[in-house]
Amino acid sequence: MSSGNSRTVETNQDGINDALDGLVNKYLHTKSLKPIQKHTQDAFDKMNEWLGAFDGDIIFDSCCGVGLSTQQLARRFSDARIIGIDKSDMRVGKHLHYSQDVDNKADNYLILRADVIDFWRLAVQAGMQLSRHFLLYPNPYPKKTQVQKRWHGSASFLDLHQLGGQLEVRSNWLLYLQECQFVLTKLKRESEISVVNDPQPLTMFEKKYQASGQDCYRLVTR
């Protein structure tokens, strides 16, 4: 992997977090009893209504922010249906503003305001299987003590795993992806990490990191 400027996230962690292995073992033997929030149930129902009888490829763009990536993915995978999900009302509400930058009037995508923790669980319960799943620039939570807040350090990662499909995670923090790879390997799923070199940024965060000269990385499952 080539590496230009690897200046990224400030962390007090110097390798894969020691707690990760134990955390995943624990999650494998626990079941979430947390009630589903109403707004996420409503969003899930809205997705099902929008999908109707569609039985082709379904792609999730989880934590999509303003949904720039969702729109670009809709153009790239024109036969699929793409669902962008983010919990921030403010970011989801800005989608139309940002989408004007993209010369694409695709109608094969939907952006929803929902919490992916509940949304993934509902999708697993409904037996959904994805063809691809994008998780682009999740919040890194770089302090050593914050490992459980990273997606691969949380119980929800098992729901994401069960949804299947090719997973792509992007981050400007290489260690985030190395930890994610560690957990995927534990779940018997192979992946590769490389440097992002797309001609056009896929998301607003990617645009910001690239503009400040930071490397961005991608993990893709095989």
Ligand X SMILES: C[S@@+](CC[C@H](N)C(=O)[O-])C[C@H]1O[C@@H](n2cnc3c(N)ncnc32)[C@H](O)[C@@H]1O
CB nearer ligand X, residue 55 or residue 83? 83
* Count of CB atoms situated within 10 Å of the CB of 29: 6
Check: CB of residue 194 under 8 Å from CB of residue 215: no
Check: CB of residue 7 under 8 Å from CB of residue 216: no
φ, ψ at 85 (rounded to 5°): -130, 130
Smallest separation (angstroms) from ligand X to the CB of 156: 8
CB nearer ligand X, residue 5 or residue 139? 139
Question: Angle CA(114)–CA(115)–CA(120) in degrees, nearest 5?
Answer: 100
Q: Which of residues 77-96 bind ligand X (CB under 6 A)?
A: 85-88, 91
- Could you say whether residue 201 binds ligand X (CB under 6 A)? no
Residue type, 123: A
Residue nearest to ligand X (CB): 65
* Bridge-based pairing state of the strands 166-171 and 132-136: parallel
- Could you say whether residue 74 binds ligand X (CB under 6 A)? no
- Binds ligand X (CB under 6 A): choice among 20, 23, 43, 63: 63
- Could you say whether residue 43 binds ligand X (CB under 6 A)? no
CB nearer ligand X, residue 88 or residue 185? 88
CB nearer ligand X, residue 18 or residue 126? 126
Phi-psi region of 213 (alpha: psi -120 to 50; beta: other; left: phi over 0): left
- Could you say whether residue 64 binds ligand X (CB under 6 A)? yes
- Could you say whether residue 109 binds ligand X (CB under 6 A)? no
Give the containing element (helix H, strand E) for 147: none
Smallest separation (angstroms) from ligand X to the CB of 127: 21
| Structure tokens given for 114 | 């929902």
Residue ranges binding ligand X (CB under 6 A): 63-65, 85-88, 91, 115-117, 136-139, 203-206
